[in-house]
Amino acid sequence: MTATAVSTAAQIPGYTAGTWKIDDLHSEAAFTVRHLMVTKVRGGFTGLDGVIVTGEDPLDSKVDVTIDATTVNTGNADRDAHVRSADFLDVEQFPTLEFHSTGTRSADDGESFVVEGDLTVHGVTKPVELRVEVNGFQPNTPFGDHRTGFSATTEISRKEFGVTFDTPLEGGGVGLADKVHINLEIQAILQDA
């Protein structure tokens, strides 16, 4: 392990290298998008599945996540059905969203990380960067296991992923903004070696 890796790992209390399975019950992939140019609509997905591998050097860590697109929930059944339709996610043709990391680096603040990777939405794959905060490592939880948690954020252009449905507004602007803010809260369980 390099001196940089030792100092980076040492700055994360309880840091543990290993393979971690995402706990879907305690994880969330949420999004926010501006609606009618005046407010924001929030939603999320509950069907998360994936693995995080924390390296001996935190910068060697990797993540692979698959999200069940049919689990989208915006708090309104009619809107959820529209988001699942061919106008937006087209879940019949593209039932999953996926993220596969390609690299990890320290963020400019020296406290968080940037995880680079390929995001696939609506059958289109584009590179994205997630700003990741390590929330901690917890050995010997009440569940009898070892857990870790992360928060991550990014912003994407939905149109770059082929989600182009829109409604022009009489007063100018569009019914739904192009930029989508994504927020991830991930809890994962250490797997036996």
pLDDT tens per residue, range 18-37: 999 999 999 999 999 988 77
Integer-rounded Cα Rg, in Å, for the chain is 18
Give per-residue pLDDT as tens, 50-75: 999 999 999 999 999 999 999 999 99
* Separation between Cα atoms, residue 77 and residue 9, nearest integer Å: 44
Residue 92 buriedness (CB in 10 A; 0-12 / 13-18 / 19+) = exposed
Average pLDDT over residues 65-91: 95
Please tell me the distance from the alpha carbon of residue 173 to that of residue 148, in angstroms, as a whole number: 42
Give dist(CA 120, CA 117) in Å, integer. 10
Residue 8: pLDDT above 70?
no
**The two three-digit tokens of residue 103, written as one number:** 């690299």
* Domains of the chain, each with CATH number or no CATH: 3-190 (2.40.128.110)
How far apart CA 61 and CA 69 sit, in angstroms, is 26
pLDDT average, residue stretch 169-182: 80
Task: Give whichever of 36-40, 139-143, 168-172, 173-177 has the largest mean pLDDT.
Answer: 139-143
With a CB cutoff of 8 Å and minimum separation 6, the contacts of 5 are 56, 57, 58, 59, 60
Lowest mean pLDDT among 45-59, 84-98, 158-172: 158-172
Highest mean pLDDT among 33-47, 100-114, 156-170: 100-114
